[in-house]
C-alpha cells in the first residue's frame, strides 16, 4: 500500500460521535436562582458539612448522587450542584458549581446587578460572545484569600426557550 493511500484511508476514519445534548432542566425564576447560589456555594464554599445542610433546606429538592472522583454531586429536575473540597495541585479549590435554567433569554448586565446586590458585591466584569455571556467577580476575604464567582449564561439547546445559568465559585490560591 502506498503512503498516499494509507494517509487517505487514515483521514477517512469516522469522526468521533457528537457529545450528547445537555439535559433540559425545569426553569426557575431569577430570585430562586440567586437564592440557591447565595445559600449554597456563596455562603458555604469553605464548609462542606454546612453546604450539605444548606442544600437540604432549599426549596429545590436536590438529591445526593454518587461521588465522582473529588466531586460530590446533587441533582434535581431544576438543576445540579457540584462541590469539590480538594482538587489536584494547581487547580483552585474548593470549587462549587450550581447549574440551573431560567425561562426565556436574560439580560446579563441586569442579572449580574441582581446577583451583586444580593451578595453585596462590587461591580463585576461582564463580557459577551457568540455562545453566551459571563460576569466575573474577584472578592477579597478577611483572611487574604480571594473568592472568584463566575456567572455564565448561554442559550439552552432547541427546542427549549430558556437560558442555562452556571454559577462557579472557587477559592483562588494565595
pLDDT string in tens for the chain (174-residue length)? 443 333 333 333 333 333 334 567 999 999 999 999 999 999 999 999 999 999 999 999 999 999 888 899 999 999 999 999 888 777 888 999 999 999 999 999 999 999 999 999 999 999 998 889 999 999 999 988 999 999 999 998 877 789 999 999 999 987
Domain contains 16 = no
Domain contains 146 = yes
Which run of H or E residues covers position 102?
A: strand 95-103
Domain contains 25 = yes
Identify whether the C-beta of residue 166 lies closer than 8 Å to the C-beta of residue 152.
yes
Q: Which domain holds residue 118?
A: 21-161
How many residues are recorded in the chain? 174
Which of 45, 53, 50 has its CA nearest to residue 172?
Answer: 45
Domain contains 173 = no
Sheet of 63-68: strand order equals 63-68, 71-76, 79-84, 95-103, 162-172, 146-155, 132-140, 125-129
What is the reported pTM? 0.84
Domain contains 3 = no
Domain contains 100 = yes
Q: What confidence score (pLDDT) does residue 23 get?
A: 64
Q: How far apart are CA 135 and CA 113, in angstroms?
A: 10
Domain contains 63 = yes
Domain count of the fold of the chain: 1
Q: What confidence score (pLDDT) does residue 42 get?
A: 96
Domain contains 6 = no
Amino acid at each position: 500500500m502506498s503512503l498516499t493511500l494509507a494517509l487517505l484511508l487514515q483521514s477517512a476514519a469516522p469522526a468521533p460521535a457528537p457529545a450528547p445534548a445537555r439535559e433540559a432542566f425545569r426553569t426557575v425564576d431569577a430570585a430562586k436562582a440567586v437564592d440557591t447560589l447565595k445559600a449554597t456555594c456563596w455562603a458555604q464554599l469553605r464548609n462542606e458539612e454546612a453546604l450539605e445542610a444548606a442544600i437540604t433546606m432549599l426549596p429545590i429538592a436536590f438529591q445526593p448522587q454518587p461521588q465522582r472522583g473529588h466531586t460530590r454531586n446533587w441533582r434535581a429536575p431544576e438543576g445540579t450542584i457540584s462541590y469539590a473540597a480538594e482538587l489536584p495541585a494547581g487547580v483552585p479549590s474548593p470549587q462549587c458549581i450550581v447549574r440551573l435554567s431560567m425561562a426565556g433569554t436574560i439580560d446579563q448586565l441586569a442579572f449580574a446587578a441582581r446577583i451583586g446586590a444580593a451578595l453585596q458585591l462590587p461591580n463585576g466584569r461582564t463580557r459577551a460572545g457568540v455562545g453566551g455571556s459571563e460576569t466575573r467577580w474577584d472578592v477579597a476575604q478577611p483572611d487574604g484569600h480571594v473568592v472568584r464567582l463566575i456567572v455564565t449564561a448561554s442559550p439552552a439547546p432547541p427546542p427549549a426557550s430558556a437560558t442555562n445559568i452556571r454559577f462557579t465559585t472557587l477559592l483562588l490560591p494565595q
